[in-house]
Structure 1
Amino acid sequence: MKLKQISIFLENREGRLLKALNILSMAKINIRALSIADTSEFGILRMIVPEPERAKEILEEANFVVKVNDVIAVGVSDEPGGLESILEALNKLNINIEYLYAFVEKKRDNAIVVIRTENIDEGIKALENGGITVLSSKEVYTI
């Protein structure tokens, strides 16, 4: 069960992040999760939104560079050590994690972890074999 994520490349300039988020807000596209990584010259804003292709199109019209990637979303116990079971399941089959980020939804007992592995299909298989709950895009988009 793959989930679509959009990655927006942002010049490290004042107001650039605000502009990208404002474009999505004006289009009534709600952000379910986000992460930003930066260097001195640019940043990568990664987001889970319910309409990734529409968000990509709208942002590209405003001259943003946007990519849509497949990621995995899993539910993990929201307690110390909860993330370990995910990492162990992937490590057991030598699945490399490119990056991950997490968020907690107040109405659930679990945290949601978004994971990008080198091979998404193998990552999903390893997680499922490890007894990890892999979430569908519908489950994540409606949180």
Structure 2
Amino acid sequence: MYIKQISVFLENKVGRLVEITDTIAKAGIDIRAVSLADTSDYGILRVIVDNPDQAEKVIRDAGYTVAITNVLAVGIQDKPGTFTKVLASLSENDVNVDYMYAFTGTHNGTAYVIMKMDNLEKGIQVLQNNNAVVLSTDEIYHL
């Protein structure tokens, strides 16, 4: 149920983001979700792609520092308060969310979130017990 996330460390400089996404695109890899966090000097690009192992290789070969991290892709009912309930259930069970970002899909009524937690196994159990759907890799690629 883990999803492989690619993290790329890059200079906060005009054109770096284009270089990375172009490298991924030229390899025929599809980006499914994306997050970019920055400071004044560098950024961390986090992406979910349909071929993470190949993406890691082409990005590394292009000279960038890259890492793969296991995360969860979670589908929750898209209505007010549901997201808060899911977060509260994780908190009540001592599961810390390190970071998260949202992505879109084509299923009406469902919101999707990528979540990195301190305890993924426990997080999966808590999420499933609280009516959240933990998506598989194949499900992510076909949204």
Question: Normalization by structure 1: what TM-score?
Answer: 0.94
Distance (whole Å) between structure 1 residues aligned to residue 57 and residue 93 of structure 2: 37
- Which residue of the partner structure matches residue 124 of structure 2? 124
Contact 2:76–2:131 (CA<8 Å) still a contact in 1?
no
Contact 2:8–2:44 (CA<8 Å) still a contact in 1?
yes
Counterpart residue type for residue 40 of structure 2:
S
- Aligned ranges for residues 45-64 of structure 1 at < 5 Å? 45-64=45-64
Distance (whole Å) between structure 1 residues aligned to residue 85 and residue 57 of structure 2: 37
Alignment RMSD (CA, Å): 1.2
- Which residue of the partner structure matches residue 14 of structure 1? 14
Residue 50 to residue 83, structure 1, CA distance change in 2 (3 Å):
same
How far 1:109 sits from its partner (Å)?
2.3
Q: Secondary structure at the match of 1:44?
A: strand
How far 1:107 sits from its partner (Å)?
4.0
- Which residue of the partner structure matches residue 106 of structure 2? 106
Contact 1:3–1:70 (CA<8 Å) still a contact in 2?
yes
Distance (whole Å) between structure 2 residues aligned to residue 24 and residue 111 of structure 1: 26
Distance (whole Å) between structure 1 residues aligned to residue 113 and residue 17 of structure 2: 23
Distance (whole Å) between structure 2 residues aligned to residue 108 and residue 61 of structure 1: 39
How far 1:128 sits from its partner (Å)?
1.6
Unpaired runs of at least 5, structure 2: none
- Aligned ranges for residues 73-92 of structure 1 at < 5 Å? 73-92=73-92
Contact 1:11–1:43 (CA<8 Å) still a contact in 2?
yes
Distance (whole Å) between structure 2 residues aligned to residue 96 and residue 79 of structure 1: 23
Distance (whole Å) between structure 2 residues aligned to residue 65 and residue 108 of structure 1: 37
The CA deviation string for residues 72-114 of structure 1, in whole angstroms up to 9 with x for no partner, is: 1111122222311220221120111000111222343211111
Unpaired runs of at least 5, structure 1: none
Number of residue equivalences: 143
Distance (whole Å) between structure 2 residues aligned to residue 84 and residue 51 of structure 1: 32
Q: Does 1:31 align with 2:27?
A: no
Structure 1 stretches of 4+ moved >4 Å = none
